[in-house]
Structure 1
Amino acid sequence: MSTLIAIREGSLNGNGGDCSPAKLKASNRGRLAVLHRRLLLLVGGAMFNLMLLFFILGSLYTLSSRISPLMGWHPDYPSFVVSGNRSGYTVLINTWKRYSLLKQSVAHYSSCRGVDAVHVVWSETHPPSHQLRECLANVVRQNSRADEKPHLRFNLNQEDNLNNRFKPIVDLRTDAIFSVDDDVIVPCDTLDFAFAVWKTAPSTMVGFVPRMHWLDNKKDGEVHYSYGGWWSVWWTGTYSMVLSKAAFFHNKYLEMYTNQTPSSVHHYVTRERNCEDIAMSFVVANATGAPPVWVKGKIYEIGSSGISSLSEHDYKRNKCLNDFASLFGTMPLISSNAKAVNAMAEWLW
């Protein structure tokens, strides 16, 4: 080692030596070439390590998807789904003369493993035909993946009335009710996740369609509220209702809505043919003093636009909100900013 140092020191003290312009330029080129090669090696090594990391992660995912079913864990099927129908939930479908949509809806929800029964709220003048009953019964048998097929029932009513969707059910076997319109489809895994969320707070409403009430300036000395639709919720991240077109609630609220809510509220819903969902939100909030829970998840509307597309819809919803506050004698709705998200389905959280 000392000999090498001596040679370098001698060369630096000679006539010109390594300090000549030509040799210095050549030396710089050589050093740049070495630096360039080292950079290439460094970048290439980083890329190789990154590719190796992705390969390892992909291999682990593939391996787990093959081995985990053998161990009783299915990554594509939520671990919180109940194994027995009796501890599942009842799907309560509100329908009105849309038989093709009803068939699609029954077919879909019959395929969800947590469903114990499917009840159809029927409010037409004539009862469902024998042909329709048999058709839907076959749909349940063909689509259900459970050993014990979900029960199919028609809740018959003699008049067309939006209050019918919240009438008590005699042969109900579950605490949990999933209330849904016949043109709304919630994927089974999303529905089962919402059911798991509901089980952590079974006294409140848990759903997919949030709405908000806002306090306006006082008019004529009275408090006035405004109804906030989806864009209001999206902009502020605040909600105080989840609509019953796609929401879980405890079956006790069917009896509470029908038999304990002021009859003036029922008459109002009957007359206006609107806002039964807001009324149910009032009932639950009044009983719990707590906000609902909004669940993040995709839902699909398979039918044409309903009453929410009419020009006076916002005006009527505002009116319902204020009239119910008067009829109930209070504004029970509580706002929230919380949203339930399935962490297993999120890349970033």
Structure 2
Amino acid sequence: MLIHYHRRRYLFFILILICLLLFYKYTRIKTYFLTDEHRIYTSLLIELPHLERLIRAKQSNLSSIQNRLIKVEKYLTKYTWHLKRLIKTIHYNEQEQKKISYFNSFDFDLEKNLQKNQTKFLVYFHLINISNDIDYHSLYKFYKKISNIQNSYITLNKTEAYLHVIYLPIRSNKFNICYKDVIDRKYFVLYEFINYTGEDIDEKCFHGNFLPVKFFTQFNNTNINNDRWRLNDTQQLSIGIIYLNTNATISAYEYNQLNNKYHIATECFYPSCSQIISNKNLSLISIICSSSSYSILIQNQFYELFFYLLSQQIHVITLNCEHYLPYSKVIDWSHPSASYSWLYTIYFQTFERRFHTTIAYLRTHFRLPTLPKSSNFVEIKNQLTKENNFYYLIHPRNLNFTQMPIGLMDKISFQSNKKTSIQIEPTFYDQWNRLYQPFYRSEVLTNPFEIPSSNEKYTIIILTHKKRFYQLNRLLLHLNGLINVHRILVLFNQIDKIEKSENLSLKDFLDDYYIYLPSIHVEIIYIFNLTNNLNNRFLAWNEFIQTDCILSLDDDSFLRHDEIEYAFRIWLENRSRLIGFISRSHNLTTLEYDASSSSSCSYSMILTGAAFLHRWYLDYYTNIMSEQIREYIQMNINCEDIAMNFLISYLTKQSPIKIGHRETFHCYKCEESLSNKITHYKQRTECIKYFSNIYRLIPLRYSVHRLDHLLNISSCFS
């Protein structure tokens, strides 16, 4: 029984073992068939968190890339806009270059050109009797006037003339003479219709070397009315429209342009409306021309009307008249730095200027450079020397160490830094439209808009007279030791009548003061003018000035050396501006002169009694600015500083810059001064009104920008 029991237990264990073996085998077989799928699912389950993190990271990167792409798209849009604008600018410049390419051809040394080509532009005028149509009264008047004009391009020797010219003042064309057939082709013909009555003109008879001019008719200048309209008035202005060879239907677009800006007071057709315009007393007239082909008849009508309106101080707006504007091939009438009235003043206001302009145009037409002004001036040191209208004395420098500031000796250069005389002929475009000097080459070799040269210095010009000798002496000794000063010019305006005219000495000009003339570390040139004229302050003095920078001082303008040197450094960075210490302003509405602006933030003028400016403005003031302004200053003995502010602001379209917070200079022991007169400020108000009517606008610009020489920052304390 026991044996049977043990057998059963062994059998049970064997069965269990068999079951385990079968189960193991079964599981092995099943595992064998599911291994790949199981492995895939298992690996996926294991890698799923890692893949999720990777996907999230990729999504974050994609979002960042998307944001960057959006920014790149914005930048591309911005740069595309700038690129289109640049392309438009380049296209515009190309068009402008094409427009001026006719006369913008060379930029070279004049002397080399003359040596190479042996060519000088000299003109000989022939007097020829060819028909009964010629107005001989105007012809003889013309030759009489040019005989009194000094022009280096006119010659009386036929053989040396480069160009032979005939002037034809045509009274009428009723005989239908074809001047092209009766005048030899070797002559260049200037023709002008005098009192033209409207006969038909054969255009072919004026082809070739024929140039329409306007010398005599419609140039009766009237007295300037101070109540005339100014360009910067804010109210809507009344305008008259004159249609020239066109009508209102064809010119509807131009009419709408004017109607949006102005109140149209009257419309008429040339020439019937001249009297209507005069009766309306308008200060603004628009001339609308036909856009059809060029016509000599319309050219003559346009000249008559255009010059008449400008001579009457009437502001002119032209539409579709580009081809009829005088000398439009060389004068850029649309140039932003000029206006019709300004160009008229420079080129056409007087017979002499009209004649010089014509000669300059002919010279440009034949592509020849200007001739330099002839000067045989030689400096004579330490001796009173007579020139045409002044005497001068050059005092040599004297190293007076007792007057020099301590610590500046190592910075002072006592060597004369005279510039090398490199005379570059400006391009034709620059001569006519940037420098406004097509008549001659200025001895000022640079202008305020050019790149400055190295090692700059400045020349001081002091205006004084004998009665202020004490002030002058103090000022000159005070200026001793200035670091960057090159020379000092002292201008004595002669006010005492001198009986003898020859063998003058210093005592004749200064009495016994002459023995006290000081000498300092630079040369002092004492100039004695034979006329008392405030315009002498801004004479170019090319005989003595060798620097671009000018420091204009009154004899009572005492500035510290550090102030002067700081202002000079500011000028070097702003060469085209007027840099000074005493400011003034004007009322834009009433045009009243405001002396209280020296203590306020806003100003529009700098007094030239203590100011830096470029020497180019001196040449411009004397030779190109309106002669009416200089005559007004000479007659009223005032306002030369306002005239210079007008000139610089007009040419640069910029405001002056004030240094520091000075309000005025106090003149010690001064017996008399212009500013002390009761009528001084009223007279300066009248000057502003007069000058504004000459310019036909107020060029002065307001500024609140002041530079503190101690802090070297912009500051203003009102």
Instruction: Place the TM-score, normalised by the shorter chain, in its bin.
Output: 0.5 to 0.7
Match of 1:96 in 2: 465
Unpaired segments of 5 or more residues in structure 2?
Answer: 1-404, 418-455, 499-503
Q: Hey, what's the Cα distance between the residues in 1 that align with 2:492 and 2:685? A: 28
Query: Of the candidates 676, 694, 704, which is equivalent to residue 327 of structure 1?
Result: 694
Match of 2:527 in 1: 155
2:460 aligned with 1:114, yes or no?
no
Query: Do the aligned partners of 1:212 and 1:240 also contact (CA within 8 Å) in 2?
Result: yes
Aligned-residue offset at 1:175:
0.8
Query: Do the aligned partners of 1:290 and 1:334 also contact (CA within 8 Å) in 2?
Result: yes
Match of 2:558 in 1: 185
Q: Hey, what's the Cα distance between the residues in 2 that align with 1:213 and 1:338? A: 17
Match of 1:247 in 2: 611
Query: Of the candidates 162, 175, 178, which is equivalent to residue 548 of structure 2?
Result: 175
Identical counterparts, % of pairs: 27
Aligned-residue offset at 1:310:
1.6
Aligned-residue offset at 1:233:
4.1
- For normalisation by structure 1, the TM-score amounts to 0.67
Aligned-residue offset at 1:234:
2.1
2:469 aligned with 1:105, yes or no?
no
Q: Hey, what's the Cα distance between the residues in 2 that align with 1:214 and 1:181? A: 26
CA-to-partner distance for each residue in 1:216-259, whole Å, 9 max, x for gaps? 2xxxxxxx412111x23423x10111010100000111101000
- RMSD between superposed Cα atoms in Å: 2.8
* Structure with higher helix content: 1
Please list, as runs of the form range in 1=range in 2, the aligned pairs for 1:184-333 lying within 5 A after superposition. Answer: 184-216=557-589, 224-229=590-595, 231-235=596-600, 237-296=601-660, 300-303=665-668, 304=670, 306-333=673-700
SS in 2 for 1:185: coil
Q: Hey, what's the Cα distance between the residues in 2 that align with 1:192 and 1:198? A: 10
Aligned-residue offset at 1:328:
2.2
Q: Hey, what's the Cα distance between the residues in 1 that align with 2:567 and 2:529? A: 29
CA-to-partner distance for each residue in 1:120-164, whole Å, 9 max, x for gaps? 11221557716756632xx323xx3xxxxx121123321101011
Bigger Rg, which one: 2
Q: Hey, what's the Cα distance between the residues in 2 that align with 1:116 and 1:176? A: 10
SS in 1 for 2:700: coil
Aligned-residue offset at 1:262:
0.6
Aligned-residue offset at 1:329:
2.3
Aligned-residue offset at 1:76:
7.7
CA-to-partner distance for each residue in 1:246-304, whole Å, 9 max, x for gaps? 00000111101000111100110011111011001111111111000000065743333
Q: Hey, what's the Cα distance between the residues in 2 that align with 1:177 and 1:82? A: 19
Describe the shift of the 1:200–1:133 C-alpha distance in structure 2 as closer, same or farther (beyond 3 A). Answer: farther
Describe the shift of the 1:297–1:82 C-alpha distance in structure 2 as closer, same or farther (beyond 3 A). Answer: farther
Match of 2:301 in 1: none
Aligned-residue offset at 1:83:
5.3
CA-to-partner distance for each residue in 1:181-228, whole Å, 9 max, x for gaps? 112211111111111111110111000010111112xxxxxxx41211
SS in 2 for 1:247: strand
Please list, as runs of the form range in 1=range in 2, the aligned pairs for 1:19-98 lying within 5 A after superposition. Answer: 86=417, 87-97=456-466, 98=468
Q: Hey, what's the Cα distance between the residues in 2 that align with 1:270 and 1:75? A: 43
SS in 2 for 1:203: coil
Query: Do the aligned partners of 1:109 and 1:115 also contact (CA within 8 Å) in 2?
Result: no
Query: Do the aligned partners of 1:210 and 1:240 also contact (CA within 8 Å) in 2?
Result: yes
* Larger displacement relative to structure 2 (296-305 or 279-288): 296-305
Aligned-residue offset at 1:335:
0.7
Match of 1:58 in 2: none
Q: Hey, what's the Cα distance between the residues in 2 that align with 1:133 and 1:112? A: 24
Match of 1:135 in 2: 516
Unpaired segments of 5 or more residues in structure 1?
Answer: 1-73, 145-149, 217-223
Q: Which runs of 4+ in 1 moved over 4 A?
A: 74-77, 81-85, 125-128, 130-134, 297-300, 343-346
SS in 2 for 1:106: helix
Describe the shift of the 1:301–1:330 C-alpha distance in structure 2 as closer, same or farther (beyond 3 A). Answer: same
- For normalisation by structure 2, the TM-score amounts to 0.33
SS in 2 for 1:335: coil
Higher-RCO chain (CA-CA 8 Å, sequence separation at least 6): 1
Q: Hey, what's the Cα distance between the residues in 1 that align with 2:588 and 2:684? A: 14
